[in-house]
Structure 1
Amino acid sequence: MSQKPLGWLGIARLGLVQTALGSIVVLTTSTLNRVMMVELALPAVLLAALVAWHYAVQLSRPRWGHGSDGGARRTPWIIGGMGVLALGGVLAANATAIMSASPVVGILLAVLAFTMIGAGVGASGTSLLAFLATRVTPTRRPAAAAITWIMMVMGIAVTAGVAGAMLDPFSMQRLAIVSGVVSLGAFLLTLAAVAGVEKAGEIEVAETSAPKTDFMVALRETLADPQARRFTVFVLVSMIAYSAQDLILEPFAGLVFGMTPGQSTQMSGVQNGGVLLGMILVGAAGGMVGARGQGWMRGWTLAGCGGSALALMTLAVAARVGPGWPITPTVFALGFFNGVFAVAAIGSMMALAGEGKGRREGIRMGVWGAAQAVGFGAGGFFGAVAVDIGRRMFVEDASAFGLVFALEASLFVVSAVIAAQIGAPASAPSTKLKTGARHVEA
């Protein structure tokens, strides 16, 4: 019995899982970090270490992907991962509140919370994207990548805007309540989204009785593919560039532009609104190009990298000018080009996932997801450490932030060079859905 391809409704429903995931992550990796750094006056390197740790935990993504490949269904992995993520989000907010009275206890609880967040994102996100890579026809992959990521950014943007308004006037108790409401809502949304999507009648029977490939064998075979290795390097470098501003943008808004926690959180919503628009643009165009679009997606990836580099250089100028600079349009432009880059890269990832030998979608998605996690963790840590060093060297906040933004722009240029070397798959993609594969992505 062959698997039935996902229709647009099924793709949109799975996109709701990304919405739920984004709504939790935006509070834990953005708002909580701003509160720790500005309200609690903790060093940026501590905050970066916590977020870097949650990305380090995501090095388990290939294992999650391989495990999901060998199972009969993926939805239990998605639900279980989201449950762990939601609990981690609640614990992280309460740990931050505890830090104000007992820093050591609060930090220890935060380490546990960010471990749960990393494991939850890895299990749910990898299994979800593997499901999409397996069950979406090649002609719909660019649009599917856009839909799912647009819905994730919508979750981030809406949560940032609504939670930002609810956080003012700010208090630690209010922070804990808002985080709990968001986490519970995200988990319930996930349950509703996946209910009935993976029907028993659509499961590939032969697949569940086939001999299972050892994890290390599958991993070695994946890394032996030159195309997969090159794409892994691209993901690593581009994610460092993409994430270096994540932990410092809201503190930058507070320290250089004098914004309140609510205002800086709302600014983050504006940035993600730009990401949303960029994704919509690429996704709509990708739907018209269809399965012929590997080279086309590479072109959009280059445009996204170049535009992001230009926006970051503009942000470096804004750091020097200060409050008189129109910071909101600048941040929106950065988000827009980040969105263009993200959807084009994810679309390429979904197309390349099915090019490996045998049932390898999950393990390939897991490897790229692990590279993405390392890039995010290294980027966030690098950005925070560079700001700390810069603030000591220059004795002013503006120069420190401007330096990091400029270095981040240079990494996007390097990413564009690597992306230009990634060619189309050796064989033309089939318009028929593969039926012997169950796999995972980040």
Structure 2
Amino acid sequence: MDAKEQRLNVPRTLKLGTFHIGSSFIDLLTSGVLNRVLITDLALAATPVALLSALRYLLAPLSIWAGYRSDLRPAGTLRRLPFIWGGRLPMLLSLPILPFVTGLLAADPSSLLGWGLALFAFLIYGVGTLISGATYLSLVRDSAPPARRGQALAIVQVFLVISFPVAGVIYGRLMPVYDQASFWRLVLIGMTVAFAFIAFALWRAERPAETPVDADPTPPEPFLPLLRQMWSDQRARWFFLFLALGAVSAFAQDAVLEPFGGDVFGLDNGQTTRFNAYWGVGVVISLLGTVYFTRHRAAHEQTSVAMVGLAFTALPLFLLGMIAITEWQALLIPVLFMFGLGFGVYTVGAVSLLAAMTTERHAAAYLGLWSMTQLLFRGLGIFAGGAVRDVALWASGSYTIAYASVFMLEAIGLVACILILQRVDVPGFVRGESRPLGATATLAAADG
């Protein structure tokens, strides 16, 4: 492969990255705005709301199946786009259900119809997320030469973290105070913006004849034996544990961060929605800086970057716990910014390792496994955050202790991730990709 073929097609990667702008306008409606409305404005318990947010992640095994099926698509056909569109359209169509949910639960917090519609919306949303997420990552990976795949995934991730704070500011201005009419307008605007960016990103993003240069022509393994083969590698198991604990620890505050601002400091909806902007700016700065300074590193050389990011994400979470206890509001925005700085570094390192911990023949299946891990345990983390908040509030009667408990446990989990990541031999996994399967993997594959 000559130097030109090794070069990343930056304009194409940037166009693919705009997909994440649309995704952020969808995700923020469900993970930020709706949680705040239900928990703070409608005074519902955090646990069932967090469980709704987490529900879509509990279906995460679908991402492995979708990735596996897209890997099997024959040459001369579209491999990734049918799955991406097949997931994103249901996500968009689930959004108009949300205002009906808030209207019903505002009138009757125990409304079975309201909770039933919420469950239905989040199931549709979750299935769509899982079918399209791993296949989108595979499309980005396919678009880049092997040495630049980590860089390509990091670049599209920049769009995600930039657009979250932008969407947060826009939503905060459109609905500074909750009312049903404003929420309807917010949902319709969010749907329109999301569809426009997703359609632009995916327009001619894949050509039917486009297949990996080094694709393996041998028949594919059946699905379950392939999973056993992947799981038989100890490095993959340690990486799974790292991703799982990292997702739980980094996202436990997802459903309670904005209610934290309302319950502890009395901030209104518009002010707490801007929390996403404060830490998102930090993410953008550190993510862009980290991509620049590590641009000459291969994806499998980013373990130390991920460890530094974990440490600098854990510290502000510990400080958030202290802020909750002391109610020292002056430090809130700076610490949220610090959280974003650490999270940006961690994101670059972790995304690069995702690109490295794959094989050419089963790229989407591996990315499906890692996406499933992150989504499933992100969902468990979101639920755990709401549950810890409610249990601590019940035990202490104090909002400060309730929210501090969530933040402190997150910090401890991220520190533990550093120790786990030390056990993952990513360079060894990459070097061993082209070698014959070991005895354990061979038996696992033959067992099916």
The TM-score, its normalising length taken from structure 1, stands at: 0.90
Answering whether residue 143 of structure 2 is matched by residue 135 of structure 1, we say yes
Aligned residue in 1 for 2:347: 342
AA aligned opposite 1:113: A
AA at the equivalent of 2:125? I
Pick closer, same or farther for the CA change 1:328–1:380 going to 2, 3 Å: same
Distance 1:278 1:338 in 2: 8
SS at match of 1:343: helix
Matched residue SS, 2:107: coil
Shift of 1:205: 10
The question of whether the paired residues in 1 share the 8 Å contact of 2:59 and 2:376 is answered with no
Q: 2:261 aligns with which of 234, 250, 253?
A: 253
Closer, same or farther in 2 for the Cα pair 1:428/1:385, shift >3 Å? closer
CA distances 1:217-270 after superposition (whole Å, capped 9, x unpaired)? 221111112221111111000000011111111000001111101110012221
2:303 matched residue in structure 1: 298
1:210 Cα offset (Å): 5.8
The one-character-per-residue Cα deviations of 1:31-82 (angstroms, maximum 9, x if unpaired) are: 1011100111111011111012111122311011111111232112112211
- Other structure's SS at 1:325 match: helix
Q: 1:162 to 1:222 in 2, by over 3 A?
A: same
Q: Return the alpha-carbon distance in structure 1 between the equivalents of residues 126 and 238 of structure 2.
A: 25
Larger deviation, residues 139-148 vs 7-16: 139-148
Q: Which of 78, 81, 86 lines up with 1:75 in the alignment?
A: 81
Whole-Å Cα distance in 1 between the matches of residues 307 and 316 of structure 2?
14
Amino acid at match of 2:112: V
Contact 1:27/1:160 (<8 A) preserved: no
Match of 1:57 among 46, 56, 59: 59
Question: CA offset at residue 307 of structure 1?
Answer: 0.9
Amino acid at match of 1:389: V
Partner Cα separation in structure 1 for residue 429 and residue 401 of structure 2: 49
Asked if 1:86 is matched to 2:92, the reply is yes
Separation in 1 of the partners of 2:189 and 2:404?
36
> How many Å apart are 1:122 and its aligned residue?
1.1
Q: Which whole-Å CA distance do the structure 2 matches of 1:142 and 1:192 have between them?
A: 23
Within a 5 Å distance, the mapping from 1:232-247 to structure 2 comes to 232-247=240-255
Q: What's 2:288 paired with?
A: 280
Map of 1:436 onto structure 2: none
Amino acid at match of 1:40: L
Within the candidate set 98, 101, 106, 1:95 is matched to 101
Cα RMSD for the two superposed structures: 2.1
Correspondent of 2:12 among 10, 13, 21? 10
Shift of 1:345: 0.4
TM-score w.r.t. structure 2 length?
0.89
CA distance in 2, matches of 1:315, 1:426: 38
Unaligned runs of 5+ in 2: 433-448
Q: Work out which of the residue numbers 180, 187, 211 in structure 2 matches 1:172.
A: 180
Q: Contact between 1:232 and 1:368, CA under 8 Å: does it hold in 2?
A: yes
Q: Confirm or deny: 8 A CA contact 2:91 2:126 kept in the other structure.
A: yes
Equivalents in 1 of 2:128, 2:175: separation in Å? Answer: 25
Q: Quick check: 1:424 aligned with 2:426?
A: yes
Match of 1:229 in 2: 237
Corresponding residue pairs, total? 421
State the alpha-carbon separation in 2 of the partners of residues 163 and 257 from structure 1: 21
Query: What is the rounded CA distance, in whole Å, between the counterparts of 1:414 and 1:208 in structure 2?
Result: 38
Q: Does 1:220 align with 2:222?
A: no
Residue 116 of structure 1 is matched in structure 2 by 124
Other-structure match for 2:397: 395
Instruction: Name the residue aligned to 1:183.
Output: 191
Partner of 1:434: none
Q: Provide the C-alpha distance between the structure 1 equivalents of 2:164 and 2:13, rounded to a whole number of angstroms.
A: 19
Aligned to 2:24: 22
The counterpart of 1:322, out of the listed 319, 323, 327, is 327
Cα separation, 2, equivalents of 1:206 and 1:316: 50
Summarize the Cα distance change of 1:328–1:427 in structure 2 as closer, same or farther, 3 Å threshold.
closer
**Counterpart code for 1:29:** S
* Higher deviation after alignment, 93-102 or 341-350: 93-102
- How far the C-alpha of 1:401 sits from its partner, in A, is 0.8
User: Identical aligned pairs, as a percentage?
Assistant: 27
With over 3 angstroms needed to count, the CA separation of the structure-2 counterparts of 1:93 and 1:215, relative to structure 1, is: farther
Q: How has the CA–CA distance of structure 1 residues 258 and 389 changed in structure 2, closer, same or farther, with 3 Å as cutoff?
A: same
Q: How much has 1:323 moved relative to structure 2?
A: 4.9
Conservation of the 8 A alpha-carbon contact between 1:94 and 1:176 = no
Whether 1:383 aligns to 2:391 is no
Instruction: Provide, for residues 104-123 of structure 1, a one-character-per-residue CA deviation record: whole Å limited to 9, x for no partner.
Output: 21111111111111111112
Q: Which runs of 5+ in 1 are unaligned?
A: 431-442
Distance 2:365 2:329 in 1: 49
Q: After superposition, where does 1:179-218 map in structure 2 within 5 Å? A: 179-203=187-211, 211-218=219-226
Q: Is the 8 A contact 1:156 1:269 kept in 2?
A: yes
AA paired with 2:340?
G
Whole-Å separation in 1 of the counterparts to 2:99 and 2:341: 29
Q: Do the aligned partners of 2:60 and 2:373 also contact (CA within 8 Å) in 1? A: no
Partner residue of 1:372 out of 371, 374, 386 = 374
Would the aligned equivalents of 1:166 and 1:178 in 2 still touch at CA under 8 Å? Answer: yes
Match of 2:275 in 1: 267
Query: Aligned letter for 1:159?
Result: A
**1:153 and 2:155 aligned:** no
After superposition, the Cα gap between the structure-2 partners of 1:48 and 1:427, relative to the gap in structure 1 and judged at 3 Å, is closer
CA distance in 2, matches of 1:270, 1:384: 22
Residue type at the aligned position of 2:422: A
**Residues 33 and 138 of structure 1, relative CA distance in 2, 3 Å threshold:** same
What is the identity, as a one-letter code, of the residue corresponding to 2:143?
A: R
